[in-house]
Amino acid sequence: MGIFLLIFLTAGITLLALTFGDEKQVQPISRERQEFEKLYSTYDTLNKDYYTDIDQDKIIDGAIKGMITSLDDPYTDYMDEKQAESFHENISSSFEGIGAEVQQKDNQITIVSPIKGSPAERAGLKPRDVVLSVDGKSLEGMSANEAVLLIRGKKGTKVNLSVLREGNTQPIKVSITRDTIPIETVYAKMLKDKIARIQVTSFSERTGSELEKSMKEMQAQGMKGMVLDLRQNPGGLLDQAMKIASLFVPKDEVVFQVEYRNGKKEIAKSQNTGGKPEFPVVVLVDEGSASASEIVAAALSESAGIPLVGVKTYGKGTVQTTEEFKDGSNVKFTMAKWLTPEGNWIHKKGIKPNVEVKLPEYANLPFISPDKKLSINNSSEEIKAGEQMLAALGYKPGTVDGFFDKNLQTAVKQFQKDAKLQQTGAIEGKTTIALMDKIRTKIQNNDVQLNKAVETVKKELAK
């Protein structure tokens, strides 16, 4: 019995898909099956007596989508030929779009995680942001794949999103210029005291090899400890997650388990041949760490005793597989649960880190549209966000209440002066972009989660 593994970074949605055993084939359905009597009868009636000719392919696709919608499972979906083509395109080395993983959750299209360095990240999109519309078209009732076809597009073109952030009552408008999104997944940097930070942003075809190479490069530079950063990592290819987990989890220790509906369990064990690393390791996680990255985090925590730092992870604990049809369409469906080495099911719960560290409030402020003018005597949620940004940067906008008063105008002018911009006293255009860039830089330079992870590595070194 072979092992068929299939986990994709798809067209905007993270899939964890694997099948232990032989790949299944789609079986033909006999018309004698009584449970399909109403379905066939309805089809025949419409085909014969509907007042206009019907599109038979569209009717069949709709019937399949109806069955899938009734399951109320955001990870089970039907993809027509065009959607399936986009699905397969996204596992290549690059694609064009905004660079954000999305899923359908509670009948809404929700951001799982923006890709590092992508237009979505630069625009300030965050995990759990709800995308209400794309270029004015409502996404209500759409599947994630349908939404992605609207969001994606050619490099250099703009897409306008209406986004609702958790805790806010009013949606914000986000204009994003699409770009080529390379699937570069490993970023290594040596920090002070010879502690390396290696960030893995997703699991694609070469991630395991890239991580091994980066670790060797850091060791050649005298690495004494390592922070494995899995924040904002929405998942990817399972074989790569297995390869990465096996670099840290001792040989034959459990990496994860799969449980089927009949109660049968399959256990995946570490393929490590080199033993546990001789240097201390800490893993960084956050609410954007999902799916395969949660498998790695749980495996390193429970089977290798490696501490987790950050905030609770996303919480995706189900397994999907796909059935391909001859016309190029496919059905993706949930076929099992995955469990941590100790048998915990983290679905909708996430993984709680050993050391909880939240980012400051200004790290989660909503996007402010550069196309919108925020000026004196107006009030809005975006003005409130501007006040909070200026306050975080050390300016004095007065009372943070969403009202653009004289105090805020003075603070804006001072910011514009320091940024060598025209002192209009209004937040718009270049001022908005500069303000958000400064906040992004502050978050990066004052990364309290990374600082705590480094501190934890140092404590391990001191033992």
Would residue 105 show up in a list of annotated catalytic residues for this protein?
no
Q: Assign a CATH topology to domain 186-317+345-360.
A: 2-enoyl-CoA Hydratase; Chain A, domain 1 (3.90.226)
Would residue 413 show up in a list of annotated catalytic residues for this protein?
no
Give the percent of the chain with pLDDT over 90: 62
pLDDT at site 5 = 33
Pick the CATH number of 362-445 from 1.10.101.10, 3.40.50.920, 1.10.10.10, 3.30.365.10: 1.10.101.10
Mean pLDDT for 44-68 is 92
Among 116, 126, 243, 316, which one carries the catalytic annotation?
316
Q: Which numeric CATH code is attached to 95-182?
A: 2.30.42.10
Going by pLDDT thresholds of 50, 70 and 90, the confidence category of residue 87 is: low
pLDDT tens for 3-24 read: 223 333 233 333 333 333 333 4
The pLDDT mean for the chain works out to: 87
> Is the model's pLDDT at 448 over the cut of 50?
yes
Going by pLDDT thresholds of 50, 70 and 90, the confidence category of residue 229 is: very high
> Is the model's pLDDT at 185 over the cut of 60?
yes
pLDDT at site 246 = 96
Among 214, 291, 293, 329, which one carries the catalytic annotation?
291
Would residue 342 show up in a list of annotated catalytic residues for this protein?
no
> Is the model's pLDDT at 170 over the cut of 90?
no
Three-class secondary structure assignment of the chain? CCEEECCCECCCCECCEEEECCCCCCCCCCCCCHHHHHHHHHHHHHHHHCCCCCCHHHHHHHHHHHHHHCCCCCCCEEECHHHHHHHHHCCCCEEEECCEEEEEECCEEEEEEECCCCHHHHCCCCCCCEEEEECCEECCCCCHHHHHHHHCCCCCCEEEEEEECCCCCCCEEEEEECEEEECCCEEEEECHHHEEEEEECCECCCHHHHHHHHHHHHHHCCCCEEEEECCCCCCECHHHHHHHHCCCCCCCCEEEEEECCCCCEEEEECCCCCCCCCCCEEEEECCCCCCHHHHHHHHHHHHHCCCEEECCCCCCCEEEEEEECCCCCEEEEEEEEEECCCCCCCCCCCCCCCEECCCCHHHHCCCCCCCCCECCCCECHHHHHHHHHHHHCCCCCCCCCCECCHHHHHHHHHHHHHCCCCCCCCECHHHHHHHHHHHHHHHHHCCHHHHHHHHHHHHHHHC
pLDDT at site 267 = 97
Among 302, 303, 332, 384, which one carries the catalytic annotation?
302
pLDDT tens for 377-431 read: 999 989 999 999 999 999 999 999 999 999 999 999 999 999 999 999 999 999 9
Going by pLDDT thresholds of 50, 70 and 90, the confidence category of residue 31 is: low
> Is the model's pLDDT at 309 over the cut of 50?
yes
Mean pLDDT for 82-108 is 72
* Domain range annotation of the chain: 95-182, 186-317+345-360, 362-445
